Structure 1
Amino acid sequence: MSNSEQLLTFAEKLIREKMDNCLSDLQRTVLLTTLQENKKTYDQIADECGYSPKYLKQDVAPKLWQLLSEVLNKKITKFNIKTILEEQMRHQEPVIEILPTTFAVSSPTSEKGNILLVDDQPENLKLLSNLLEEQGYEVQQAINGVIALQAVAVSSPDVILLDIYMPELDGYTVCQKLKVHPKTQDIPVIFVSALDEAWDKVKAFSVGGSDYITKPFKTVEVLARVENQLKVRQLQLKVKYLQQQLEEKNQQLQQILQKSSSIDC
């Protein structure tokens, strides 16, 4: 794999982790061409891919650089993206060091999924963490709602297991804050609580919860509900990707019809 392809893969990984998003085929082509330091203009790229230059220059490219700017927390342009990505690849780990010591991060990302556990009781965190890690999940822990929100801001988990009654911010409030933010609103939240009243469950779902597990929980139930939410999440991401592809194909079809119409005239 060439250096430019490695940088592209790294950029896409950051976008998935931090924005829960993915690049369209056209955005990927623009980014790879830029990373290869190819001197092609936007007009040339658009022509080769069958799109209008106006669509690429006024829609696709600006959205690409804006997305990367949000992911990398820097003003990104086609002139600095390669340098910044290379620097980020050399220093991937330091961002973890600034987190509070009560927030533990496992090292390599698991293919099965990344689970964030939020509970103010250390024994509960330990029990759930051991259970999920034995199944191959990457597990992060937060001892309260404030730390949980900080953790999600750094790296979006695939699923959150969230206790309800905690100091400072309760689980309901944490979930509400996640659901109003575009970057985190689609992360599945499974409430895990000793509260078993119907009202508690209704409120959990009303603030955006995806599922509810009552303590004391059963191992098989926790694993089944986590796996189910991961499948739902994967389907959501696939739909989002297909929608982007459809938008591009529709744009391409419109360009073809316009060209055909002008030829007929």
Structure 2
Amino acid sequence: VVSIADLSTVSQRTIMTGTAALLDCLNLCPGLHRQQHASDPNKGEYPAAVAMDSGYVFRIENPATVHYLQKISKTAHLTVVEVTNIANRMSGMDEVWEMLFATANANAISIMAYMIAASLIIAVIVLLILMRDWWGLFVILMLILARTLNVILIRRRSHLGWSGASEYGKSDLLVLLNQDRSVRIQGNIDDVKAVTSGRWLQDMKSFESSVAAVATVLVYLNAALASNATEFGKVLLILLLVVSAGLLAVANQWTKKLQMHGNILE
């Protein structure tokens, strides 16, 4: 039953990294079936923004960026955010590593917490095999499959959509959020447009919705089948889910930057 708790830890991780890494498949937390709901974290707010150089007024349409601005801004304060492109500076090995685990916006504490959470599942699988608890092992593998399906869907949906014609020069935006909060976003025009315009997750196609439904059913089916595991196996499963959720929450808390479409906001 713990596995179907509606925690937002997995969704928050998806938002902060702008996608899903392959190593996420080994991070099993309550609420993993709600990862596709990470597309609307801004609570319906689309704040107005004004270009400081031209006076052009528009709205920030990227829900993940709005969520990040809500998180870092303070009432009656002006917060300055710099947009830096990292995609153009990545080597081939850097790109491979980013597919496995998003490190561009991470620090030592968040990396350590994330890696410990990912390694816990290996230890639990080994223990279940040694105990010959095949039902417990089957439940773990079902959760990994559900998590993998969600990771694949997020990676498919998180590609950069159309953000306007390419422009040269610097951008300087003043964003006005509710509760009298203001944020100034600075960076190259194309980079700023990439993180402010459009949706960061594309709408799911019909077959993608079907895959997401299968992943959700697997999680709920897991809750029913877990009762067949041994008592010690059940304890291991509960500890795995609870401790992994705590470690991933620590990783999220210490991730201070937003990674989005090859850019870092800080």
With structure 2 as the length reference, what TM-score do the two structures score?
Answer: 0.28
Q: Higher strand share goes to which structure?
A: 2
Higher relative contact order (CA 8 A, sep 6+): 2
- Structure whose CA Rg is larger: 1
